[in-house]
Amino acid sequence: MSRTLIASSVLMVLAATASFAQDANQSTLIANARVIDGTGTPAQNVSVRIAGGKITAVGKLQPLAKETVVDAKGLVLAPGFIDSHSHHDGGIFERRDAPEVVSQGITTIIVGQDGGSRIPLGEFFSKVQKTPASVNVASYVGHNTLRDEVMGKDYKRAATAAEVQKMVGLLERDLNAGALGLSTGLEYEPSVYSDPSEVITLAKTSARFGGRYISHIRSEDVKLDAAIEELVNIGTQTCMPVQISHFKLAIRNRWGDAPAVLKKLDAARARGIDVTADVYPYEYWQSTLTILFPDRNYKNRAQAEDVLKNVAAPEDLILSDFEPEPALVGKHIGEVAALRKTDPSTTLMALIDEAITFNGGKGGRETVIGKSMSEQDIAALLKWPQTNISSDGGMGDAHPRGAGAFPRVLRQHVRENKTLTLEQAIHKMSGLTAQHVGIKDRGTIRAGAAADLVLLNPDTVADRATLKDPSQLSVGIERVWVNGQTVWQGGKTAAARPGILIKRAADAKPFTCSKASR
């Protein structure tokens, strides 16, 4: 009986695999669709044919003999969305159907963000290829990871020339493996202690390989201007594309300044610097309590008081993880202060100290969701022609962006507030993103492109994830194809795992500063 069951199971797996392969190679015509092709141009009522994982034709098409026909019934067919700043790789091998991802219409995730990546990256890439998920995966090399590998616990200082060269060697190894470029998380340890010259040296290495640069800049609040200047300077010194991760003005006394900040970026672009950004559509971020103290003096009461006055009020800082005292998760700083009968500033400093000294000084996890952005600024940043959409989310995330960022834009900023047209929003989720990260075969609906596609209902698409229920899946994404195979349909994931590893383009040319216009 045991052997019979095993044999039966094997046959079922083989049959399913054969079925997926047949689906991938069989010609399918998606008819009666309102096609928005990802370039920003107006929608067209045309059909799309896919076969062998590729888009083979777009236009007024008639079904072929024995061809599968999908009636789109007038819904919108768009390119699969590309998440340029994702942390969904956490758990991707355990939850390969990635429901939080595909239910948003995301077909490609770009990981290795905020300066953190797998090491060595080649091993991660090999596992992605051997154990594919429902979505495609690409990665940057993380500066924090390089610095941690080279400097270990002795990181609260500038790196020596020899240490920087060791980082260069590790970066070259992972770029050779196919990484998209270099990512930094300059507001986080250990990179917060890095000298700008260290970052420029590594960025030049990435540029030499035709790689790109994406950055969680050194400050998103009190030192925002200086942080942006550092990024622009990297673009000036390397002549490579530079992107601001999850662009925001996360400080109350800067609310309304988005147009002025964007004017500076436009001036940089006019000088030939390819500076871009990605944005997620929430007023609240998620990070560590420590980033609220840019000089890392966690016992500075004046700074703690200023944070709670200008960056985020006590009731707007909600603990999303706190290993030293898990019962505090879900409570804001004001509530914790009341429980402890202390003032909010004392409480903030104490929580950081408890996390640092937890487990005999080894430290404990702590994260916080903070509300410190304005809807007005978010809308202004979204409208900038050089911003694409991202989530900055993960699977099982305590922040709703992990399950709702892309549909939230389509609901809130397209249908309700009309900040963007549907064509503009989809361009910022697909074609523009592909340009920003250097992916050539995805992001637009055209013959020859990979068959990553999203069928959505523009009248019903909406996010459902909230702070109280952050894993609630979105609605209105009717069907999703990855490399020609269905991964989401009827409100649930499919069995196929057609995602592939996406590497930096093989023909990527080095970025140089030879042009006089630079």
Q: Decide: 213 and 182 in contact? Cβ < 8 Å.
A: yes
Q: What is the pLDDT along the chain (518 residues), one digit of tens a residue?
A: 344 444 444 444 444 444 444 455 689 999 999 999 999 999 999 999 999 999 999 999 999 999 999 999 999 999 999 999 999 999 999 999 999 999 999 999 999 999 999 999 999 999 999 999 999 999 999 999 999 999 999 999 999 999 999 999 999 999 999 999 999 999 999 999 999 999 999 999 999 999 999 999 999 999 999 999 999 999 999 999 999 999 999 999 999 999 999 999 999 999 999 999 999 999 999 999 999 998 899 999 999 999 999 999 999 999 999 999 999 999 999 999 999 999 999 999 999 999 999 999 999 999 999 999 999 999 999 999 999 999 999 999 999 999 999 999 999 999 999 999 999 999 999 999 999 999 999 999 999 999 999 999 999 999 999 999 999 999 999 999 999 999 999 999 999 999 999 999 989 999 998 643 33
CA-CA distance, 428 to 31, in Å (whole number)?
A: 25
Q: Decide: 345 and 304 in contact? Cβ < 8 Å.
A: yes
CA-CA distance, 518 to 501, in Å (whole number)?
A: 34
Q: What is the pTM of this model?
A: 0.93
pLDDT value, residue 295: 86
CA-CA distance, 33 to 460, in Å (whole number)?
A: 16
pLDDT value, residue 26: 86
Q: All domains of the chain, ordered by start, with CATH? A: 2-78+449-458+474-493 (2.30.40.10), 81-283+373-437 (3.20.20.140), 287-370 (no CATH)
pLDDT value, residue 23: 52
Concatenate the DSSP letters of all residues of 96-142 into one string: TT-HHHHTTTEEEEEES-TT---SSHHHHHHHHHHS--SSEEEEPEE
> In terms of C-beta density within 10 A (0-12 exposed, 13-18 middle, 19 or more buried), how is residue 255 classed?
middle
Indicate the DSSP class of residue 511. P
| 3-state DSSP helix/strand/coil % of the chain, to nearest 5 | 40, 20, 40
Beta strands in 242-398 (DSSP E): 242-244, 275-279, 284-287, 317-322, 366-371, 387-389
Residues 6+ apart with CB under 8 A from 240: 181, 203, 206, 207, 211, 212, 213, 234, 274, 511
Beta strands in 313-408 (DSSP E): 317-322, 366-371, 387-389
> In terms of C-beta density within 10 A (0-12 exposed, 13-18 middle, 19 or more buried), how is residue 293 classed?
middle
